[in-house]
Structure 1
Amino acid sequence: MKLESPKVTINKSPQETFDFLSDVKNFESLMPDNISKFEVLDNDKFLFALKGMPEIVLKKKELEAPNKIVLGAAGGKIDFSLTANIVELTETSSEVQLTFEGEFNAMMAMMIKNPINKFIETLASKMPEAVA
């Protein structure tokens, strides 16, 4: 299953956007309002939970400054990745699109598609203000 957020424009250079997203503690400011837990576990790993959902641990898996950050599931029952693709628009602005990818059986995919889609849309929509 592959889901993509809408592209968002951020009034910061790709490097500044990359630096913000590389710091896992900054993801707290992007989380939806229905977050019930957020905890930084170390420099490259954080845990979060949304109300009614299990806790998820995300870990930085791949960094390609200033264009790409890949977070992946750190343990747990499901394996997936969340990728931030950063594209330079001008020297002082960039565009970000989040991509969620994971292998799920049909039943699981049907159950999580809408919540995951809403989640990555929320993360993306909060970026222009949070990164600024």
Structure 2
Amino acid sequence: MTTIQNQITIDKPVAEVYAFLADCNNHEQLMPEMVYNWSSTRDEAQFTIQNMTRLAIRVDSRKADDEVVFVPAEKAPFAVTLRWLVTPMADNRTLAKLVIEADLNMMMKMVATKPLQKLVDEQVGNLKNVLSA
């Protein structure tokens, strides 16, 4: 299992950060420019990644003010889980962490690790920007 992650501190209470992440409709704001044709509900999102494929994800589980777990809503080329973890900190700040766990064979690992890390880094940075605005 390949694990890719990044985290950031946000100057918002954990309940506010969790509420944002728990709704798939908000995740379009976190996506890089290469994602388009976005459609979503609170529990599911579908989108296209430029020059790649159309994907669908759904919420697998929610733990209030703690974690939101996403899994593929349709058949994916490999098993993958996206997990947003939120931890309260002092002064009403929140540590937000995005973890992608992917079952990649050696060839896929060589090809996919760098783009997945870029996706994680961009989403974490965009979360801070969106919630700080």
**Deviation beyond 3 Å, 4+ runs, structure 1:** none
Output the CA distance in 2 between the equivalents of 1:120 and 1:49. 17
Alignment match, 2:81: 81
Alignment match, 2:5: 4
Counterpart amino acid of 1:4?
Q
Alignment match, 2:13: 13
Which residues of structure 1 form unaligned runs of 5+? Answer: none
TM superposition score normalised by structure 2: 0.91
Counterpart amino acid of 2:17?
T
Kindly tell me the number of residue pairs found equivalent between the two proteins.
Answer: 130
Q: Is 1:118 aligned to residue 118 of structure 2? A: yes
Correspondence list, 1:31-110, <5 A: 31-40=31-40, 42-77=41-76, 78-110=78-110
Which residues of structure 2 form unaligned runs of 5+? Answer: none
Is this contact kept in 2: 1:13–1:90, CA < 8 A? no
1:58-99 CA-partner distances (Å, limit 9, x unpaired): 110111110111111112232211001111112521011100
TM superposition score normalised by structure 1: 0.92
1:20-66 CA-partner distances (Å, limit 9, x unpaired): 001111001111122232111x3300012221121111110111110
Counterpart amino acid of 2:46?
L
RMSD after superposition = 1.3
How many percent identity over aligned positions?
21
